[in-house]
Amino acid sequence: MQDDIARERHLIRYSGRGSFSPEVIDRASGSTVITEDGRELLDFTSGQMSAILGHSHPEIVATIRAQAERLDHLYSGMLSRPVLDLAERLTATLPDPLDKAVFLTTGAEVNEAALRMAKLVTGKYEVVSFARSWHGMTQAAANATYSAGRAGYGPPAPGNFALPVPDRFRPDLVDADGNLDWRRQLDLGFDLIDAQSAGSLAACLVEPILSSGGVVDLPPGYLAALRDKCRERGMLLILDEAQTGLCRTGDWYAFERDGVVPDILTLSKTLGAGLPLAAVVTSAEIEQAAHERGYLFFTTHVNDPLPAAVGNTVLDVLTRDRLDLRARELGDRLRTGLDELAVKHPVIGDVRGRGLLVGLELVGGSDGADRLGAAVTRRCAELGLHMNIVQLPGMGGTFRIAPPLTATAAEIDRGLEILDKALTAEAG
């Protein structure tokens, strides 16, 4: 009761469609979150889709303790060994010419910094992103976000355009076989953008897999075609790999599948494995052009040593334990189990995604799927599994499933078992 009063009296509610969980979390370890009452929840969201090494990983804990005792924060113009090491090591995991990095704290910050850089370098200001995008709540990132948060805050900045989402399960345009005709959809999208543009297209900011937008994996070939559209218009391609980067999809970076190297890459959630660490990575050529034009973007915690030290430990663990391969193997196990559930439960309309970022969409009418998704989520929580549904109108029946890369096969199986029970109880 006291906690309920505290919630009502003292906490600002920061999600219009969601609410706080009824239980207070006391601690977490590995793939498990534990409430103050001692109840255990298997975490199939990796915290906020971030804790790829699980909670309280012993090497992360040791790094934080040791680095905090030595050097935690500096004046923004000073450099530390963890920052220099992380810049060198992170860029070594990426293809040429991505060899310059700056470290910030959140995905919104790095998307803001990337868009600011693209506008300065190109001398233009217009930005294209997907119609179900989520890139953050700071100014430019929010203007490029179409999935939520646009109503009630006054006019967005001019020059932001939405591109249709190439959703193969719910296609807008189809070919003769009834499949998504994404090439025609992409052509039409840019025809409309060109018609509205003031001739000042600066950048296209997209996720390789739209996570908040419904775990929509871009069709093979789409990213290359999008890159070509950008080049034709002198735009920079910015890839937001907040949730897909650092091994989650079974590759170190989701763009590797398509052989497309972005002009600017943004990383966040997974880079700090749950700690506030994010990065903008770009080429020496773009960085030099931005510097010559007086590029300005820094925050209180730019290039801070403590989170950079954590980032180095994350790279240590990912490399040593081959967590890209583990994500692929566990992802296959998860996907097989979900496909089996789809045969058993007709209410499951689609299973999609890559590695350990998987979407499961329920069907049965828009409102019906929304209600069912909420009911299944509640029942999963009662049974000991934390699940996350997409918070978009008409998409509340879509689950984002993203266990830690350190999860065990037994934990994947247990999560599938609980989900099966929840679907049986709520959908029959």
Which pair of structure tokens corresponds to residue 248? 């989650």
Cβ neighbourhood burial of 123 (10 Å; 0-12, 13-18, 19+): exposed
Give the CB-side neighbour count of residue 345, counting CA atoms within 13 A: 29
Cβ neighbourhood burial of 321 (10 Å; 0-12, 13-18, 19+): middle
The answer to whether 207 is a known catalytic residue is: yes
Q: Considering only CA atoms, which of 290, 115, 98 is closest in space to residue 205?
A: 115
User: Looking at 229, 248, 354, 400, which residue is catalytic?
Assistant: 400
User: Looking at 119, 124, 248, 269, which residue is catalytic?
Assistant: 269
User: Looking at 67, 132, 134, 181, which residue is catalytic?
Assistant: 134
Q: Considering only CA atoms, which of 46, 38, 30, 35 is closest in space to residue 408?
A: 30
The answer to whether 240 is a known catalytic residue is: yes
Distance CA 130, CA 82 (A): 35
Q: How far is CA 83 from the centre of its chain?
A: 23
Per residue, the 3-state secondary structure of 98-123, as one string, reads EEEEEEECCHHHHHHHHHHHHHHHHC
User: Looking at 240, 251, 263, 304, which residue is catalytic?
Assistant: 240
User: Looking at 109, 181, 207, 426, which residue is catalytic?
Assistant: 207
Which pair of structure tokens corresponds to residue 226? 């999008």
The secondary structure element, H or E, covering residue 341 is: helix 323-344
Contact between 304 and 74 (Cβ < 8 Å): yes
The secondary structure element, H or E, covering residue 279 is: strand 278-283
Distance CA 204, CA 161 (A): 9
DSSP letter string, 351-404: EEEETTEEEEEE-SSHHHHHHHHHHHHHHHHHHTEE-EE--STT-TTEEEE---
DSSP letter string, 307-334: HHHHHHHHHHHHHHTTHHHHHHHHHHHH
The answer to whether 181 is a known catalytic residue is: no
The answer to whether 252 is a known catalytic residue is: no
Active site positions, annotated: 134, 207, 240, 243, 269, 400
